[in-house]
Amino acid sequence: MYRVVFLGPPGAGKGTQASTLSRQLGIVHVSTGDLLRSAVAADTPLGREADGHMRAGRLVPDALVLKILHERISLPDARAGFILDGFPRNLPQAEALAAITPLDRVISFEVPSRVLVDRLVDRRVCPRCATVYNVRSHPPRNVGVCDRDGESLVQRPDDRLEAVTTRLKVYAEQTAPLLEYYRSRGLLHPIDATGSAEAVARRLRAALDKPEGSVDPG
Ligand code: AP5
């Protein structure tokens, strides 16, 4: 059973890896960022409340995120396992998650900040199918157009430099303390998330395939 959390700063490649790995393992990829962006696009009450926080690069209030997370991992397709991408983001969320489900592994994606900023400002996404591209490292076949459905690609509002700076600061202050939280529980597996997406995928599989209990000191 894979009940896995991907922990790492914005732009570390969590979504890119989760999308491929979830298909390979046949488990669900639960991205709280994607769930929130869908709520914003659908203009639901939750989406309207989340929108301003997200644009500014701040965390959305815990109660809102916990509600959508709980609803999503209670669906039958999450019984075979899941990858949580972008949740938990602070200590109260980690404690709430522990009360909902046990975890098998927490993968920490390690990337220097200067690489993160470049990856984020160069990211483009498809507003229809949410496929993620990068103008440098993973461009679409035709400039500005999604390979899958031909939709024009857009930049996420929170990938503008000002919001990126806030997101990195929020990560350092609120999310990074979770590394110690999970290390002390014997769940943390750090991986080097620099280099090509394929190289990162190989390190990720090695970390997931390690026998239980063989935890990296980090
Ligand atoms: P969310 O959508 O979760 O954003 P994030 O955690 O900031 O992560 P990103 O999606 O920016 O990065 P990623 O690590 O997935 O990188 P990716 O694979 O795309 O959250 C957005 C907002 O929602 C938050 O700021 C907050 O407001 C709210 N929110 C979400 N969850 C919340 C929670 N639990 N509590 C409260 N609020 C919450 O890769 C980035 C780029 O790099 C792409 O262009 C990609 O193509 C490229 N790339 C990937 N891997 C490589 C590689 N190896 N080499 C070169 N380029 C690469």
158 Cβ contact list (under 8 Å, min separation 6): 54, 55, 56, 57, 164, 167
Concerning whether 156 is annotated as a catalytic residue, the answer is yes
The model carries a pTM of 0.94
The verdict on whether 169 is a catalytic residue reads no
State whether residue 84 is helix, strand or coil.
Answer: strand
89 is catalytic: yes
Q: Please, are residues 31 and 18 in contact by the beta-carbon 8 Å criterion?
A: yes
Q: Is the CB of 15 under 6 A from ligand 1?
A: yes
pLDDT, one tens digit per residue, over 168-214 is: 999 999 999 999 999 999 999 999 999 999 999 999 999 999 876 55
Cβ atoms of residues 156 and 123 within 8 Å: yes
Quick one: pLDDT at residue 217?
Answer: 43
Kindly report, residue by residue over 25-84, the tens digit of the pLDDT: 999 999 999 999 999 999 999 999 999 999 999 999 999 999 999 999 999 999 999 999
Q: Is 68 in the pocket of ligand 1 (CB under 6 A)?
A: no
- For residue range 74-122, list pLDDT tens digits in order: 999 999 999 999 999 999 999 999 999 999 999 999 999 889 999 999 9
In degrees and rounded to multiples of 5, residue 85 shows phi and psi of -115, 105
Which residue, among 154, 146, 147, 159, has the nearest Cα to 119 in the 3D structure? 159
- Dist. CA 36 → ligand 1 center (Å): 13
Tell whether ligand 1 has an atom less than 6 A from the beta carbon of residue 137.
yes
In a 10 Å sphere around its CB, with 0-12 CB exposed, 13-18 middle and 19+ buried, how is residue 180 labelled?
A: exposed
The residue assigned the tokens 């209030």 is 61
C-beta separation of 49 from 102 below 8 A: no
